[in-house]
Chain A
C-alpha cells in the first residue's frame, strides 16, 4: 500500500508531460474548486479528476480505494457543515426539520435546510477533489522532476529539493503507519467504539509510535541525503534530463489554462453556486 502512493512511471502520455504542465493541471483544478460550491459542478470536476487519473494509467478502483482513509474526516466535515452552516437568508430557505427537538435538554434545536444539505454535499465533493488531485499529482510527477520544475519557476533550489524529498517521505510514513497498526492490532487494538471522543482516543496508540518512528526515519533520511551530497553545490548540480517544453506540453498547458479561466469565470459569475442544484430541485 505504502508505495502505491508514490510516483510510478506507468509510461502514459501524462507521465511524459513536462512537470510544470502537471502542476498547472493541479492548480487549475484546485483554484476552480475554491470558487465553486455547487455539488453538480463539483461532481463533474471530481469526475474529470478521476478521468485524468485513468488517462495516467491509474484505475478508478485504485483511486477510489485511496480516498477511503479520508472518508471519516470528510464525514466529520459533512456533519459539521450540516450542524453549523446556515443559508444567508434562513427565513426564505426550505426547512427540512430540526436535529435535537425541543424536548432534548442542554442541546439546542438545530434547523436543517435543503440548502444546507446541498451546500454540505458540495463541500464533501470539494474535499474529495482536493485530496484526489493531490494524490494523482504525487503519482504522476517524480519528486526530482517536481524539484526541477519549481526551481525553473524561480523557487530557490534548496526549497525545491526539500519539497521533492517531503513527497518522497510520504510513502515512508505510510509504511511506518501500517507497521504500527499491525503491531497494535496484535494487542487487540480496536477503534470500533461509538463515542466520538473514545474513538479519537483510540488512535493515540497509533499516532504516538508512528510519530516517533517517522521522526527517527526523517533524521536517518536527512543524514542519508547529506551523505550523498544534498545541498553541496545546488547551483552546479548536474541535470541528466533538463526540462524542455514540447508541442504536446504547449497543447496540454493551453487546455488546462482554458479550463482554469472557464472554471474561475463560472465561479465568479455565481453560476457554479449551490443555488444551481437547488434550482434544479425546484427549491
Chain B
C-alpha cells in the first residue's frame, strides 16, 4: 500500500445516516483516523457511536437498511459502498458490543482462528499468531474451553483476540469492556493501547469509561445527538468537562472536581486527568492540616440499625448442576430500609447470591429467609410479591402489545382484583413517568422507555425489597443514574434496595452499605465510607475505590469522600482561593 494511503487508513467524509423509518442517527461526521493512533469516541446513548462503528466495515450500508450520505473510505481507496462486509473486515476489524453474540465457536482456540481461516491465511502464520494472542490475553490455560464458560473479562479478551488474529490494519471496538469489572476492564483497555503502539495499529474505540482511558488515547471525540460536540487531545476536550458531564457522560472525577473548584474561583490553570496530577494541582492550594481535622461527613440517609431484619442468610452454599461451587458458607443480614450494594468481580458469586432472594435459585446448603418466608418453601407468587428483581435487559420480559397490559401482568398473576390491578398499574406508571405510554406498543419504544416499563412492571407488584441487577451494564451513565435516582426515591418511601454492580462510582454515590464478594464468600461487609478505604480487600476482588476517595486519602482526609460534590464541599471548607 502506498505510504500516503497508510497515513489515513479510515476516513469518514461528511457522513450522515438514517436507519429505515428513523431520523438521522449521525449528521455531518468527518473523521480522519491517522495510522497508529488510538482515538476514543464517547457520548451518551443514542449519540450515534455504534452507527459510526457499523460504517467502518460496511455493515452500514450493506446489512442495515437506511439512507447514507457522504463516504467512508478504507485504506485510501476502498469505498465502503462497493465492497462486501467480509472483504472490508479484512482491513477493518470490528468488534461489536455483547460478547454473547460475538462468540460462536466451541473452543477459545477455534474462536480465535475463525477469522484468520476465513481469510485463508497460511497455517503457520495462524498458529504463530494464535499462540502469541493466547499468551497476550492470558487465555492459554483456557484454550480448549467453551468461550461462554469464561469470565466476562476473558470473554472480551477472547473476542478481541479473534479480531487481532487476522491482523487488520484498523481496529474498531464498540464498548469492549461493558461487562467487566474495573481491574479487568483496565487490563483489556491497556492491552488494546499496547497492541496499537506495538503493531502500529490504528484503533477506534467507543467507550463510556473516560476515566480509565484518559492516559491511553491520542484523541477524543464526543458525539452528542449524532453530531461531533468536541474533538481533540483528551486534555483539551476535558476542558469542557462540566458540559460533558451535563450531557450524561461519566467523566474523570478528579477532572470534574477541579473544574468545579475552578468555577468557584480556585486558581487552577490546567485541569488534571489523573489522581497524581490532581494531588499536584490541589496540594499547594489547601490547608492539609485543616483538612485532616475537618469534621466527619454526616450519613447521607437515615440509618436503619434498629429496623427488623428482612433478609437473613445463614450458611448459604450453592453448587450448580455442572459442579461449579458459586457460594460457600455465606452469612448475611439486611434490615428493612437499607440501601445495599453487592460488589465483586465477574464470577465472584454476587448474582448467584441475589437470585436466592426471590427463589430463582434454591440453597444447596444453608437457609435464606426473606420477610419471614423460607425461600425453599415459599411459592413463586409469594416470592414475586416480596422481592422485585429488575433484570439488565428489558427485552427479557416484555411480551404484551400494550404497556398497560405489561404492567398488569404481575399483579394479575398473583390473583389481585381488577380494580386493584388497575390501581397498581396507574400508580407504577405515574411513579416511572410513563402514564402517557400506557396505550402504546412497548416493542416500538426506545430502550430507555422499555427499561422504565420493566421497572414499573416490577414495582406494580409492590415488593418489600427491590433488587437491581447491574443497572449500568449496556447503559450509559445518564440512564444508569435515572434508574438509581428512582431507587433513591423508592428508598425514601421505605423500600429496601439491593444493587449488584461493579461500577464503583455508582456504588459510592448511592449505597449506604457495601457487601464485597470474592470467590463465593463475603470478603467485606461495611458501611460505604469504611469499605472504600479498605483498598487491599477491594483489590482482592478486582475493584478500585472512586478517584475522589483516593484523592481525599492522598490529601490527608481521614474518611472516604464518596462523590465529587462531597469533595468540593470538604475542600471548599479547607482551602482554596
Contact assessment for B126 and A188 in the assembled complex, using a CB-CB cutoff below 8 Å: no
Partner of A209, one of B84, B121, B321, B399: B399
Min C-beta distance of B444 to chain A, whole Å: 12
Contact assessment for A227 and B94 in the assembled complex, using a CB-CB cutoff below 8 Å: yes
**Any chain A CB within 8 A of the CB of B244?**
no
Contact assessment for A187 and B110 in the assembled complex, using a CB-CB cutoff below 8 Å: no
Partner of B93, one of A8, A221, A227, A233: A227
**Any chain A CB within 8 A of the CB of B501?**
no
Which chain B residues in 286-318 approach chain A with CB under 8 Å?
A: none
Q: How large is the interface on B (under 10, 10 to 19, 20 to 34, 35 or more residues)?
A: 35 or more
Contact assessment for B63 and A223 in the assembled complex, using a CB-CB cutoff below 8 Å: yes
Closest A residue to B89 by beta carbon equals A227
| Segment of B15-23, B112-120, B528-536, B542-550 engaged in the interface with chain A | B112-120
**Any chain A CB within 8 A of the CB of B566?**
no
Contact assessment for B389 and A186 in the assembled complex, using a CB-CB cutoff below 8 Å: yes
Min C-beta distance of B265 to chain A, whole Å: 50
**Any chain A CB within 8 A of the CB of B355?**
yes
| With A223-B96, A232-B90: A190-B413 Cβ-Cβ less than 8 Å | yes
Which chain A residues in 208-257 approach chain B with CB under 8 Å?
A: 208-209, 212-213, 216-217, 220-233, 236-240
Partner of B100, one of A175, A182, A237: A175
How many of A's residues come within 8 Å of B, CB to CB? 58
Min C-beta distance of B473 to chain A, whole Å: 13
Determine the chain A residues whose CB is within 8 A of the CB of B94 once the complex forms: 227
Contact assessment for B393 and A237 in the assembled complex, using a CB-CB cutoff below 8 Å: no
**Any chain B CB within 8 A of the CB of A85?**
no
Partner of A188, one of B59, B381, B397: B381
Partner of A183, one of B104, B118, B380, B397: B397
**Any chain B CB within 8 A of the CB of A51?**
no
Partner of A227, one of B85, B113, B321: B85
| Residue-wise interface mask of B (46-58) relative to A, using a CB-CB cutoff of 8 A (1 in contact, 0 not) | 0000000010010
Contact assessment for B358 and A186 in the assembled complex, using a CB-CB cutoff below 8 Å: yes
Which chain B residues in 131-153 approach chain A with CB under 8 Å?
A: 144, 146, 148-149
**Any chain B CB within 8 A of the CB of A142?**
yes
Contact assessment for A220 and B106 in the assembled complex, using a CB-CB cutoff below 8 Å: no
Min C-beta distance of A230 to chain B, whole Å: 6
Contact assessment for A209 and B119 in the assembled complex, using a CB-CB cutoff below 8 Å: no
Min C-beta distance of B127 to chain A, whole Å: 7
Partner of A168, one of B106, B381, B393: B106
Min C-beta distance of A179 to chain B, whole Å: 5
Contact assessment for A226 and B86 in the assembled complex, using a CB-CB cutoff below 8 Å: yes
Contact assessment for B397 and A229 in the assembled complex, using a CB-CB cutoff below 8 Å: no
* A165 to B388 CA separation, bound complex (whole angstroms): 37
**Any chain B CB within 8 A of the CB of A2?**
yes
Partner of A189, one of B98, B118, B413: B413
Closest B residue to A220 by beta carbon equals B101
* A207 to B166 CA separation, bound complex (whole angstroms): 39
* A21 to B414 CA separation, bound complex (whole angstroms): 53
Closest B residue to A225 by beta carbon equals B104
Partner of A238, one of B54, B96, B120, B162: B120
Min C-beta distance of A94 to chain B, whole Å: 44
Min C-beta distance of A143 to chain B, whole Å: 6
Most buried by A among B104, B388, B398: B104
Determine the chain A residues whose CB is within 8 A of the CB of B395 once the complex forms: 209, 212-213, 216
Determine the chain B residues whose CB is within 8 A of the CB of A165 once the complex forms: 104
| Residue-wise interface mask of A (1-41) relative to B, using a CB-CB cutoff of 8 A (1 in contact, 0 not) | 11110111100000000000000000000000000000000
Closest B residue to A235 by beta carbon equals B120
Determine the chain A residues whose CB is within 8 A of the CB of B87 once the complex forms: 232
Contact assessment for B385 and A230 in the assembled complex, using a CB-CB cutoff below 8 Å: no
Contact assessment for A190 and B380 in the assembled complex, using a CB-CB cutoff below 8 Å: yes
**Any chain B CB within 8 A of the CB of A184?**
yes
Contact assessment for B127 and A185 in the assembled complex, using a CB-CB cutoff below 8 Å: no
**Any chain A CB within 8 A of the CB of B198?**
no
**Any chain A CB within 8 A of the CB of B102?**
yes
**Any chain B CB within 8 A of the CB of A204?**
yes
**Any chain A CB within 8 A of the CB of B214?**
no
**Any chain B CB within 8 A of the CB of A134?**
no
Determine the chain B residues whose CB is within 8 A of the CB of A207 once the complex forms: 399
**Any chain B CB within 8 A of the CB of A205?**
yes
Contact assessment for B399 and A205 in the assembled complex, using a CB-CB cutoff below 8 Å: yes
**Any chain A CB within 8 A of the CB of B504?**
no
* A242 to B121 CA separation, bound complex (whole angstroms): 15
Min C-beta distance of B572 to chain A, whole Å: 45
Contact assessment for B120 and A236 in the assembled complex, using a CB-CB cutoff below 8 Å: yes
Closest A residue to B121 by beta carbon equals A238
**Any chain A CB within 8 A of the CB of B1?**
no
| With A188-B384, A229-B86: A238-B123 Cβ-Cβ less than 8 Å | yes
Contact assessment for A229 and B409 in the assembled complex, using a CB-CB cutoff below 8 Å: no
Closest B residue to A161 by beta carbon equals B118
Determine the chain A residues whose CB is within 8 A of the CB of B398 once the complex forms: 209, 212
Closest A residue to B88 by beta carbon equals A227
Contact assessment for A221 and B101 in the assembled complex, using a CB-CB cutoff below 8 Å: yes
Determine the chain B residues whose CB is within 8 A of the CB of A205 once the complex forms: 397, 399, 409
**Any chain A CB within 8 A of the CB of B263?**
no
Min C-beta distance of A91 to chain B, whole Å: 51
User: Which residues in B have some Cβ–Cβ distance to A below 8 Å?
Assistant: 54, 57, 59, 63, 84-87, 89-90, 93-96, 98, 100-102, 104-107, 110, 113-123, 126-127, 144, 146, 148-149, 162-163, 166, 321-322, 355, 358, 360, 380-381, 384-385, 387-389, 391, 393, 395-399, 409-410, 413-414, 443, 457-458, 461
Please list 18 pairs of residues, one from A and one from B, whose beta carbons are closer than 8 Å in the complex, sorted by A's number. Answer: A1-B321, A7-B146, A168-B105, A175-B148, A179-B396, A186-B458, A188-B410, A188-B413, A209-B395, A221-B101, A223-B85, A228-B114, A229-B118, A237-B117, A238-B123, A240-B113, A240-B123, A240-B127
